[in-house]
Structure 1
Amino acid sequence: REAERRRGPVAPPPTNRAEARARKKELKSSMTKAERKELSAERRRIRLEQREKMMDGDEKFLATRDKGPVRQFARDIVDSRRNFAGLFLPFAIFLLVVLMVPGLAVIGNLVLLVFVLFVVLDSVYLGYTVNKRVRERYPDTTDTGFKLGWYSFTRAMQLRMMRAPRPQFKPGDKV
């Protein structure tokens, strides 16, 4: 309470961008360079700490789309199997190079179509598997169907090392 009295009343939020910019400029001019650096370093530290907790799967720091036990279970299923979709990006980059060679362009297009077909089939199977196992474990959940299948597909499309939150299971582990 003593600290509140010293600070005084809190100003209402800015009503437009110009006012917000003016307040930021005023705040910036009232701080020394050292104070600004210290504040910036503190904010960076907090951001990195939050990101680390999010990458570890702490429910409080996850994005809304990743929250909940159903999404956790779906992530674990995706992470515990090998997916064609995860190979798509490296394969597509390789094929782009191959398609620039005139003699290999026709073969490269056919290979790309076959690979895309495999990705689609594997992703449909993944969505079916995830939905089936989620319904078994969480029979009263409303988070099933296309939405959960799409979530699983988008996670499977990411390179394993770039997934957020980090995979908790290795390929081949039982979930």
Structure 2
Amino acid sequence: MKFLRRGDSNPTSDTSAVDAGAAATVADRSPTAAKGRPTPKRREAQARRRGPVAPAPLTSKEARARRKSLRGTRAERKVDSAERKATVQDRRARMLAGEEQFLLPRDKGPVKGYVRDIVDARRNLLGLFMPLALVLILSMILSPALQAIVTLAMLVMMLFMIIEGVILGRIVNKRVLERFPDSTDSKFSLGWYAFVRASQIRRMRAPKPRVTAGDSI
């Protein structure tokens, strides 16, 4: 049996101290515990930064009050309406003047502008279709006995329109091919574009004609 001397330390206490230090070191090196909740999405984080969302209205009266507050005062609505109206009128005026950036897609491009000039420089019978059709329809309503005559007149008028439309389409395609040999527009689309414009009353055409009837193009 081994007797401990008075100067020796207790081996059991030393071993316990070493074990406690190792456990603390292992605990320090252990990974951080989970947060216990999923990471918020970007949309949710942005919503929290903007502030709390107003609760939904409980009654129709609250809904009307909220819509009224969002619309603003009557004076502000009048100012906004006047600004929108002025903007629309300005865009329409620029479109009628033929400014390229304000034209409809069907009217854009130098080829379409050239076709419009060809049509506007001609005196077309197609432009009389709408007035004559209106006169014939009114005549048939006022005097049913003229129905057969009016029907025959409308058939003759449509025949002349078809003939002139074909002639105009050929003229337009021939001149476009000479002026724009690299054009990608089909012959049918250009002929139809010219036919539709020629069938409109001159002062109602949009964009407005840039040339007068009889000008050489």
Relative to the length of structure 2, the TM-score reads: 0.66
Give matches, 1:62-141, under 5 Å.
62-100=103-141, 101-141=143-183
Determine the structure 2 residue equivalent to 1:38.
Answer: 79
Q: 1:28 to 1:43 in 2, by over 3 A?
A: farther
Q: 1:34 to 1:173 in 2, by over 3 A?
A: same
Residue in structure 1 matching 2:95, options 48, 54, 68: 54
SS in 2 for 1:152: helix
Which is further off, 77-86 or 127-136? 77-86
Which is further off, 108-117 or 65-74? 108-117
Unaligned runs of 5+ in 2: 1-48, 51-62
In structure 1, C-alpha distance between the alignment counterparts of 2:69 and 2:177, rounded to whole Å:
54
SS in 2 for 1:151: helix
SS in 2 for 1:70: helix
Q: Whose radius of gyration is greater, 1 or 2?
A: 2
SS in 2 for 1:134: helix
In structure 2, C-alpha distance between the alignment counterparts of 1:30 and 1:118, rounded to whole Å:
56
SS in 2 for 1:97: helix
Q: 4+ residue runs of structure 1 moved beyond 3 angstroms? A: 25-28
Aligned residue pairs, count:
154
Identity percentage of aligned residues:
49
What RMSD in Å do the two structures reach over aligned CA positions?
2.0
Q: Cα offset for 1:161?
A: 1.0
- Retained in 1: the 8 A contact 2:71–2:77? no
Unaligned runs of 5+ in 1: 1-7, 10-21
Relative to the length of structure 1, the TM-score reads: 0.81
